[in-house]
Amino acid sequence: MSNSKLDRRSFIKTAGLVTAGGAAATALATPAISQDMRELKMVTTWPKNLPGVGTGAQRLADRITAATEGKVTVKLFAAGELVPPLESFDAVSSGTADMYHGAEYYWQGKHKAFNFFTAVPMGMTANELDAWINFGGGQELWDELSAQFGVKGLMAGNTGVQMGGWFRNEINSMEDMKGLKIRMPGLGGEVLRQIGAAAVTLPGGEVYPAFQAGTIDATEWIGPWNDLAFGFYKIAKNYYWPGFHEPGSGLSCGINKGVWDSFSGAEQEIVAACCAKENNLMYSEYNAQNGAALDTLINKHGVNLKQFPDEVFKALSVSAEEVVNSVAEDDLGRRVLESFQASLGAVSGWGSIAEQAYLGARTKATM
């Protein structure tokens, strides 16, 4: 028997140690740790098995486990199973958990610039966001921001353009927005506050009960596929578009920095590749599912699809510019804002004469 086979057997027999969480990984971050079998805990901000975001998080966990041949096994905990959904970031930052799957704008209480790595009002589409993150300096700024909290962030999903939301009553003018209690997180919620609405942040699992009980008058969630699954049509029939607040909602995998640094170079590449795969796959899935779901909402459940009045959308747009600019509250926030705006300016012109122009022309030609 060759020495290489003996060495391999020896490795297999001694590779069964499991490190327990981000804190242990940080403490044991030596070159040898990447050769140990270990189980990592991933927490999420999503209800268990929610189509799209929830199942996508599970798909990511399973893919990392499979791609590393079980060397890095990722066990997923849905919202509330290990920590409350909006405490996912703190859990990973502190090492209580090793990874999270969620939306970065939930962490705007840490720094407003986190919003840019999910979505900002009147901001980037999914394709534009990917261009900024991958080729416009966005990832480097994200690394600088999240490292302050002991986290490494990677894009790991996108839901595409979101709908404007569900409303008990019709929106015909700005007056109808005054005092409206609506669920909307991130900077979109701040835009609504500025025009007189009362926006609140609720994790996914709390949205339907709050809407049903009348605690809120309206809610945005994601889009037809997830909105159908949540059953919002049972409470309200007015479904508005377009969603000014999230034109391309990037979702992320956050990894405890100590855990990330303890990975070998190969393991880092594998995890990053798995996240990139899920980023593309989730966006594809939403595009594949939303059309049929919207048809079901309208034709089976009697939902009224409505467009926001021009007056309202214009007011939202004006407020959005002011709110987004407010992120530049320190040097890092200013650099994130400037980088985002520069990249948007660079890619949006092409988008206008490429996909946007083509889609408009295709619609016109088939009418």
72-128: per-residue pLDDT in tens?
999 999 999 999 999 999 999 999 999 999 999 999 999 999 999 999 999 999 999
Tokens of 180: 């409206």
Task: Report the alpha-carbon distance of residue 204 to residue 222 in Å, rounded.
Answer: 10
Structural domains of the chain sorted by starting position, each given as residue range(s) with its CATH number in brackets? 11-160+248-287 (3.40.190.170)
Length of the chain as a residue count: 367
| pTM metric for this prediction | 0.86
Task: Report the alpha-carbon distance of residue 78 to residue 76 in Å, rounded.
Answer: 6
- Looking at residue 36, what is its pLDDT? 75
Helices 126-135 and 138-147 cross at an angle (nearest 10°) of 80
The candidate with the shortest Cα–Cα distance to 154, out of 17, 60, 237, is 60
pLDDT in tens, the chain (367 residues): 444 433 433 333 333 333 333 333 444 333 334 457 999 999 999 999 999 999 999 999 999 999 999 999 999 999 999 999 999 999 999 999 999 999 999 999 999 999 999 999 999 999 999 999 999 999 999 999 999 999 999 999 999 999 999 999 999 999 999 999 999 998 999 999 999 999 999 998 899 999 999 999 999 999 999 999 999 999 999 999 999 999 999 999 999 999 999 999 999 999 999 999 999 999 999 999 999 999 999 999 999 999 999 999 999 999 999 999 999 999 999 999 999 999 999 999 998 998 888 888 999 998 8
Pairing mode of beta strands 99-102, 38-44: parallel
Task: Report the alpha-carbon distance of residue 116 to residue 187 in Å, rounded.
Answer: 9
Alpha-carbon distance values, 331 to 69, 84, 246, 304, 335 (Å): 42, 32, 25, 45, 6
Give 308's contacts (C-beta < 8 A, 6+ positions apart). Answer: 164, 171, 240, 241, 242, 244, 316
Other beta carbons within 10 Å of 289: 18
